[in-house]
Structure 1
Amino acid sequence: MQCAPFREAVSARLDGEPLGVPAADLDRHLAACPACAGWADAAEAVTRRARLAPAPPVPDLTAAVVGEVARQLFGTAAAARARLVRSALRLDLLAVGVAQAGLAWPALSGGTAAMSAPVHVAHETGAWNLAVAAAFLAVAAAPRLAAGALPFLATFTVLLTVTTVRDLQAGHVHADRAAAHLLLLAGVVLIAVVAWRQRPRRAAAPAAARRVVA
Structure 2
Amino acid sequence: MQCAPFREAVSARLDGEPLGMPAADLDRHLAGCPDCAGWSGAAGAVTRRARLAPAPPVPDLTAAVLGALPRQLPGTAAAARARLLHQSLRLALLAVGVAQAGLAWPALSGGAAAMSAPVHVANETGAWNLAVAAAFVAVAAAPRLAAGALPLLATFAVLLTLTTVRDLNAGHVHADRAAAHLLLLAGVVLVTVVAWRQRRRRGAAVLAGERVAA
Please give the per-residue CA displacement for 1:108-148, whole angstroms capped at 9, x wherever unaligned: 01112331000000000000000000000000100110111
Residue number in structure 2 paired with 1:209 = 210
Give matches, 1:65-144, under 5 Å.
73-144=73-144
8 Å contact kept, 2:112–2:123: no
Runs of 4+ with >3 A deviation: 69-72, 200-207
CA 1:134/1:71 → structure 2, altered by over 3 Å: closer, same or farther? farther
TM-score, normalized by length of structure 2? 0.64
Counterpart-to-counterpart distance in 2, 1:206 and 1:144: 19
Residue number in structure 2 paired with 1:145 = 145
CA 1:149/1:163 → structure 2, altered by over 3 Å: closer, same or farther? same
Residue number in structure 1 paired with 2:23 = none
> CA offset at residue 205 of structure 1?
4.2
Counterpart-to-counterpart distance in 2, 1:161 and 1:80: 36
Amino acid at match of 1:159: L
SS at the partner of 2:78?
helix
Counterpart-to-counterpart distance in 1, 2:153 and 2:87: 22
Amino acid at match of 1:120: H
Amino acid at match of 1:91: L
> CA offset at residue 71 of structure 1?
11
Counterpart-to-counterpart distance in 2, 1:206 and 1:102: 42
CA 1:211/1:130 → structure 2, altered by over 3 Å: closer, same or farther? same
SS at the partner of 1:74?
coil
Counterpart-to-counterpart distance in 1, 2:207 and 2:132: 39
Counterpart-to-counterpart distance in 2, 1:91 and 1:206: 29
CA 1:206/1:189 → structure 2, altered by over 3 Å: closer, same or farther? closer
SS at the partner of 1:199?
helix
Aligned residues: 148
CA 1:205/1:143 → structure 2, altered by over 3 Å: closer, same or farther? closer
TM-score, normalized by length of structure 1? 0.64
Identity of aligned residues (%): 81
8 Å contact kept, 2:113–2:119: no
Amino acid at match of 1:161: T
Amino acid at match of 1:96: V
> CA offset at residue 77 of structure 1?
1.1
Residue number in structure 1 paired with 2:55 = none
Residue number in structure 2 paired with 1:158 = 158
Residue number in structure 1 paired with 2:5 = none
Amino acid at match of 2:211: R
Aligned alpha-carbon RMSD (Å): 2.2
Amino acid at match of 1:209: E
Gap runs ≥5 in structure 2: 1-45, 47-67
> CA offset at residue 105 of structure 1?
0.6
